[in-house]
Structure 1
Amino acid sequence: MQDTAMVRNIAVIGHGNSGKTSLVESMLYTAGKINRLGKVDEGNSSLDYDEEEIKRKITISSSFSNYSWKKNEVYLIDTPGDDSFFNETISAAHVCDAALFVIGAVLGVKGQTYKFGDLIAENNLPSMIVITKMDRERADFHKTFDQIKESLPVTPAIVHLPIGKEESFSGVVDLIANKAYEFEGGGKGGVKEIDIPSDLEDEVATARESLMESIAETDEELIEKFLEDGELSEEDLTAGLKKALTEGEVTPVSVACAIQNNGTSVILDAVNSFMPSPADVSPRRGVNPNNEEEVVCQPSADAPFTGFVFKTMADPYAGRLTLFRVFSGTLSGESFYNVNKKTAERFGSLFIIEGKEQRQVSSVGPGAIVAVAKLKETTTGDTLCTQDNPVVLEAPEPLSPVITYAVSGQKGDEEKLFSSLSRMLDEDLSLKMSREQQTGETLVSGMSQVHLEVVGSIIKRKFGVEMELNLPKIPYMETIKGTAKAQGRHKKQSGGRGQFGDCWIELSPIPGEKFEFVDKIVGGVIPQ
């Protein structure tokens, strides 16, 4: 069983086209997890493997992988950057202990970037910023850093200063170690130590002093040492930065050129050195449903097992695939207890998701992100535990849909379409389905037209049925706007006693939604 202190689980977040997937791809390649460096633009990335993702060149659904680097086991969730699929990012941020916040050096801080910054702040998520695409034309590290400092709810501190810019971006200066590294080239991600360039010595000295001040201000012992000695040692800076990052007081800033895979090993080292393990962050807390008492889920392999389901994937062949994060204890048996559904669930095997592949494992401990197949009752948002130690963990609220379309299928496929949509509802919590009684239409609501078009494409590919989007009919309601009177008379004379009736009816509006009936007949006499 992996030592909990050597485990990291990280959500990779950032606005669209910032280079998240490319960065994760280069990290996996440098760590030796994959043997081919794929590219999003060429449609051969190991994480954006879905046909719709390849077609649109964006991440649509969170992808999962992991790697080992210098004895540390790191779980990664590559999240979407498009607003249409932001719910996926919310779920990933809820279960991860830290985030890699990716910002492009060309586009800088965009409108979408604020949303991801707020998500980090709301979740108190320790984060590290990676400024990517440093080799691109018009890439500007200092301008992007200033935008981050001025507009995002983080306290950024540079730990890796770039050497060169745009096409001349050739290495970094590690301000913690006060050493310069040049990219080895060849797309292997390695670096070799060099002397700090003479034209950067003043800038390095200024940036390193600023980093020392940022770290020292977060700890009384460090600030005293800094004021007495005038500097901090490499060991003090490393330990102080990790503590400050874990507590959300400082956000280290690094740089990358993911497409060329230049210097990715520097990022991998920073993840190991600064990012918190499950043992470093505050333990997740829940409630015992039997007595409403608080339960602390200690991130220990010996604690009672607790897991939280944050994603469900529908597969036409394997059935429903349930993904969850282990917060405490060890899972190695064949069943667990779903406290939300109040039922025990049996499973066949445990899987670690690695792109589109699955790796079977015998047991998992705190910090692991794992999947099981074909659970009958479990859905996204459920807490898994042992029946002897029940606990309910808080689930994030899914985003409310903002657009609605009427859906229909080809003649004879309606039942299959609605069955497929029901399975998609388990996978995507921001998707809603309803039926309008007055028009008889089935309505599907989502985050955007693109969102619903993607859902239709997935249904067609996975379940072989077409979903057509139509503008919904408006069920107009009628009401009385003015006063109206009408009279009806009945006369019948065919011998004997005749028949005669006279009736008046008056309709007029009344404030509110109530109805009032007034009978003005007194003593059987209709008023004139």
Structure 2
Amino acid sequence: MTRFQNGSRLLSYTFFRSKTTSPVSPTIALIQGNFQIQHSRHFSNLARATTKEEKEPWWKDSMERLRNIGISAHIDSGKTTLTERILYYTGRIHEIHEVRGRDGVGAKMDSMDLEREKGITIQSAATYCTWNGYQVNIIDTPGHVDFTIEVERALRVLDGAILVLCSVGGVQSQSITVDRQMRRYEVPRLAFINKLDRMGADPWKVLNQGGYLNFSHRKARSKLRHHSAAVQVPIGLEDDFQGLIDLVKMKAYYFHGSNGEKIVTEEIPVEMEALVTEKRRELIETVSEVDDKLADVFLADEPISTSDLEEAIRRATIAKKFVPVFMGSAFKNKGVQPLLDGVLSFLPCPPEVNNFALDQTKGEEKVVLSGTPDGPLVALAFKLEEGRFGQLTYLRIYEGVIHKGDFIVNVNTGKKIKVPRLVRMHSNEMEDIQEAHAGQIVAVFGVDCASGDTFTDGSVRYTMTSMNVPEPVMSLAIQPVSKDSGGQFSKALNRFQKEDPTFRVGLDPESAQTIISGMGELHLDIYVERIRREYKVDASVGKPRVNFRETITQRAEFDYLHKKQTGGQGQYGRVCGYIEPIPEGSMTKFEFDNMIVGQVIPSNFIPAIEKGFKEAANSGSLIGHPVENLRIALTDGAAHAVDSSELAFKLAAIYAFRQCYTAAKPVILEPVMLVELKVPTEFQGTVAGDINKRKGLIVGNDQDGDDSVITAHVPLNNMFGYSTALRSMTQGKGEFTMEYKEHSPVSQDVQMQLVNTYKASKAAE
């Protein structure tokens, strides 16, 4: 990397060594203000070349000028609108379109027809743009909890994120879920309080919900518990929202032009100087609490310069100790460019993020990746899509370089694969590239793999840690209307199951029906609709089925002898021990403990016994659902020199489990959902009464202007068709979100009812 000083302007040039041996004249490509020189000949007509490449690696400048960010939020907070504006201001698109597609075009990042019709994001979409000489890779993620896996896999591979909050709705249920996901993957983030132009906008209330404002708020319980402070102050709110004041640079910004593209910088209005001084002090105080360097200057009562404050905010943000809060209105084209500047100033570049791999040659020992192009290739396949040319695999490169035509190794399967095509994604469009290096997000065609597989160049056997995949909570029976379309129907289910780890397909052994499982009604409805649209297969759908579970509440002993003589070799196997519940909070759902001392049962039969118990636990005797939170201890047994076999001991384990299961006082567990409702206050009593009827437990009730925000825990089995019921109760003004919380025991009367229904259905077969 070489820099040249030409007059007052600093130009960045990137040298790439030509792969051809014949002399080629140098070409200079102008890309968004960055000059890339394709061949490394000396240019004598350029002034004063510095020799930074002698001291620094060739990739240092390009890596420092790279940002990988995601945009996440609650439903309808304005994520996709914000992404659309970012693409417009960075020159990636040349027209702004409505998210709901009213103009017949729709947002660039919502490329699926269903997304444009419903006005929601279903699949995360990747794009890239350049801003002030930096390359920014962006992933726009869904807000609806049913598509939470899209957020999980995006955050797994990103270096930073923007958490979008609505200035009216504030910190909502899905905001908390997204924030929890960001914490899980240790992603530094900025917050953007959007929709300041709306009636009832109050960014200071939102900021108070999201974190501690200053020392006096230390005792205030906040929803996100962030160490956060505003880095901007709005000039006016609602219809009077005019611009923003930057608390770091102490300048006022106004956004002019038909699409807010012209930024006018002015001095701070006199009437706002007192508020700005107070908010800047709050910002400095909050950052000083988490940054020692700034604290020293602050406590010494020395003046704090713009660069001191900016560097302190960057250090604290990258260390995940602080969340700078930006403001604006993406829809009204105000505040997006300063947010982009904040992404460059405060979020990390790839080498500043610690990424770990597991070395398979050393018992999954943790290895810190350098995050640079100099090391061996390590890339993670984090998302799959069925493209026009076969499977499209999204890769995040953590180390090394990948070239088109290279051979790469799938560490999970051991297969060596050639990369036939390498592309960069811009929503559903793609641009062919020849190579990509560490820190970049690219896609490859024709590489068969599963989501979560790790690729290397073969010199190392590293795997990246996997994502958190939540368990499905709802199931539907589904079958094609026409028998002739069975092939397309199977193809669709296989593809969707491969693309989405939370979408499961199974066969009900009793009814022989195909069962699809997912994260909620909307999740499954979308897939049924996609089968119809993309594969031209009409499918009939059965009643939604809740994924109940069974568990035991007390210890019970077993002593079972399986003995069968049929002439010739018989079957003989005796198992003794006990079953007991696993204590609450344990991560495992099934434990098998071999406590036999000596060889009363030969060790080669132990795996068969464990397999038998696992098989038996797949179907509890109450309602035939899997048994969870169960520990089985094998303490004794007996074997026969001739008649014992793996089959005999497996059957002995199955019958032993059934023998003692009733004595362990089993109970049925049902999925309980965390439901957040926002309804006009006049309907609060009616809605709360209906929640109680549905056996829900109201755990919170807040006032938000003229609306009541009710938080409740409600069994999923009682929530079917709730959207219609809520609309009729609130004259169409109420809205709710629902996400899985936990499985918990049903009441005694519900258990009796479920057991009787199960017995009746068995008797009818």
Which band: TM-score by shorter chain?
0.7 to 0.9
The aligned amino acid for 1:31 is: T
The aligned amino acid for 1:273 is: S
In 2, distance between residues paired with 1:414 and 1:175? 62
> What is the DSSP-based 3-state SS (H/G/I as helix, E as strand, rest coil) of the residue aligned with 1:180?
strand
Name which of structure 1's ranges 99-108 and 148-157 shifts more when overlaid on structure 2. Answer: 148-157
CA deviation map 1:460-495 (0-9, x unaligned): 22222223221279999799xxxxxxxxxxxxxxxx
In 1, distance between residues paired with 2:108 and 2:404? 30
Q: CA deviation at 1:446?
A: 0.5
Tell me which residue corresponds to 2:395.
324
Task: Select 1:429's aligned residue among 484, 497, 501.
Answer: 501
CA deviation map 1:61-81 (0-9, x unaligned): 101111101111100000000
Tell me which residue corresponds to 1:214.
286
CA deviation map 1:347-380 (0-9, x unaligned): 211111101210111111122111011213x110
Tell me which residue corresponds to 1:449.
521
In 1, distance between residues paired with 2:404 and 2:389? 21
Q: CA deviation at 1:171?
A: 0.7
Contact 2:100 2:118 in 1 (8 A): no
- 2:82 aligned with 1:23, yes or no? yes
The aligned amino acid for 2:281 is: E
In 1, distance between residues paired with 2:146 and 2:376? 37
Alignment of 1:201-240 (within 5 A): 201-240=273-312
Task: Select 1:408's aligned residue among 474, 479, 482.
Answer: 479
Tell me which residue corresponds to 1:514.
659
Tell me which residue corresponds to 2:754.
none
In 1, distance between residues paired with 2:225 and 2:502? 26
Contact 1:184 1:191 in 2 (8 A): yes
The aligned amino acid for 1:3 is: S
Relative to structure 1, the CA distance from residue 395 to residue 166 in structure 2 (aligned partners, 3 Å threshold; closer, same or farther) is: same
CA deviation map 1:413-450 (0-9, x unaligned): 12320121011111111000111122111110011111
Task: Select 1:251's aligned residue among 312, 323, 333.
Answer: 323
Q: CA deviation at 1:106?
A: 1.4
- 2:394 aligned with 1:394, yes or no? no
Alignment of 1:81-120 (within 5 A): 81-120=143-182
> What is the DSSP-based 3-state SS (H/G/I as helix, E as strand, rest coil) of the residue aligned with 1:130?
strand
Contact 2:101 2:117 in 1 (8 A): no
Contact 1:326 1:368 in 2 (8 A): yes
In 2, distance between residues paired with 1:49 and 1:102? 21
In 1, distance between residues paired with 2:137 and 2:545? 46
> What is the DSSP-based 3-state SS (H/G/I as helix, E as strand, rest coil) of the residue aligned with 1:58?
coil
In 1, distance between residues paired with 2:288 and 2:264? 29
> What is the DSSP-based 3-state SS (H/G/I as helix, E as strand, rest coil) of the residue aligned with 1:392?
strand
Q: CA deviation at 1:85?
A: 0.3
Tell me which residue corresponds to 1:76.
138
Q: CA deviation at 1:230?
A: 3.7
Q: CA deviation at 1:153?
A: 3.0
Name which of structure 1's ranges 164-173 and 207-216 shifts more when overlaid on structure 2. Answer: 207-216
Contact 2:404 2:422 in 1 (8 A): no
Across the aligned residues of Structure 1 and Structure 2, the Cα RMSD in angstroms comes to 2.1
The aligned amino acid for 1:238 is: E
Tell me which residue corresponds to 2:71.
12
> What is the DSSP-based 3-state SS (H/G/I as helix, E as strand, rest coil) of the residue aligned with 1:52?
helix
Unaligned runs of 5+ in 2: 1-58, 212-221, 547-618, 624-654, 661-765
In 1, distance between residues paired with 2:228 and 2:331? 24
Contact 1:436 1:442 in 2 (8 A): yes
Q: CA deviation at 1:126?
A: 0.3
Q: CA deviation at 1:221?
A: 2.6
Contact 2:474 2:545 in 1 (8 A): no
> What is the DSSP-based 3-state SS (H/G/I as helix, E as strand, rest coil) of the residue aligned with 2:402?
coil
Tell me which residue corresponds to 1:518.
none
In 2, distance between residues paired with 1:153 and 1:76? 26
Relative to structure 1, the CA distance from residue 65 to residue 511 in structure 2 (aligned partners, 3 Å threshold; closer, same or farther) is: closer
Q: CA deviation at 1:459?
A: 2.1
The aligned amino acid for 1:391 is: Y
**TM-score, normalised with respect to structure 1:** 0.88
The aligned amino acid for 1:329 is: G
Count the aligned residue pairs: 482
In 2, distance between residues paired with 1:129 and 1:135? 17
Task: Select 1:352's aligned residue among 414, 424, 428.
Answer: 424
The aligned amino acid for 2:72 is: I
Contact 2:230 2:324 in 1 (8 A): yes
Tell me which residue corresponds to 1:493.
none
> What is the DSSP-based 3-state SS (H/G/I as helix, E as strand, rest coil) of the residue aligned with 2:493?
helix
Task: Select 2:442's aligned residue among 350, 367, 370.
Answer: 370
In 1, distance between residues paired with 2:456 and 2:185? 23
Tell me which residue corresponds to 2:228.
156
In 1, distance between residues paired with 2:543 and 2:143? 27
The aligned amino acid for 1:350 is: L
In 2, distance between residues paired with 1:231 and 1:456? 62
The aligned amino acid for 2:197 is: D
- 2:538 aligned with 1:466, yes or no? yes
Contact 1:26 1:189 in 2 (8 A): no
The aligned amino acid for 1:263 is: G
Unaligned runs of 5+ in 1: 480-509, 516-528
Tell me which residue corresponds to 2:375.
303
The aligned amino acid for 1:431 is: F
Contact 1:4 1:299 in 2 (8 A): no
The aligned amino acid for 1:304 is: P
The aligned amino acid for 1:457 is: E
Contact 2:293 2:312 in 1 (8 A): no
Alignment of 1:153-192 (within 5 A): 153-192=225-264
> What is the DSSP-based 3-state SS (H/G/I as helix, E as strand, rest coil) of the residue aligned with 2:436?
coil
Q: CA deviation at 1:294?
A: 3.0
Runs of 4+ in 1 over 6 A off after TM superposition: 472-479
The aligned amino acid for 2:273 is: E
Tell me which residue corresponds to 1:126.
188
Q: CA deviation at 1:112?
A: 1.9
Relative to structure 1, the CA distance from residue 436 to residue 227 in structure 2 (aligned partners, 3 Å threshold; closer, same or farther) is: same
Tell me which residue corresponds to 1:35.
94
In 2, distance between residues paired with 1:369 and 1:70? 20
In 1, distance between residues paired with 2:165 and 2:622? 53
In 2, distance between residues paired with 1:392 and 1:49? 32
**TM-score, normalised with respect to structure 2:** 0.61
- 2:414 aligned with 1:342, yes or no? yes
Tell me which residue corresponds to 1:136.
198
In 1, distance between residues paired with 2:621 and 2:288? 66
The aligned amino acid for 2:333 is: N
Relative to structure 1, the CA distance from residue 472 to residue 184 in structure 2 (aligned partners, 3 Å threshold; closer, same or farther) is: closer
In 2, distance between residues paired with 1:160 and 1:89? 27
In 1, distance between residues paired with 2:164 and 2:290? 24
CA deviation map 1:53-108 (0-9, x unaligned): 01111000101111101111100000000011011101111110111000111111
In 1, distance between residues paired with 2:286 and 2:659? 65
The aligned amino acid for 2:535 is: F
In 2, distance between residues paired with 1:54 and 1:262? 24
> What is the DSSP-based 3-state SS (H/G/I as helix, E as strand, rest coil) of the residue aligned with 1:371?
strand
Relative to structure 1, the CA distance from residue 184 to residue 421 in structure 2 (aligned partners, 3 Å threshold; closer, same or farther) is: same
In 2, distance between residues paired with 1:188 and 1:352? 29
Tell me which residue corresponds to 1:524.
none
Task: Select 1:49's aligned residue among 111, 114, 138.
Answer: 111
In 1, distance between residues paired with 2:261 and 2:429? 24
Contact 1:189 1:264 in 2 (8 A): no
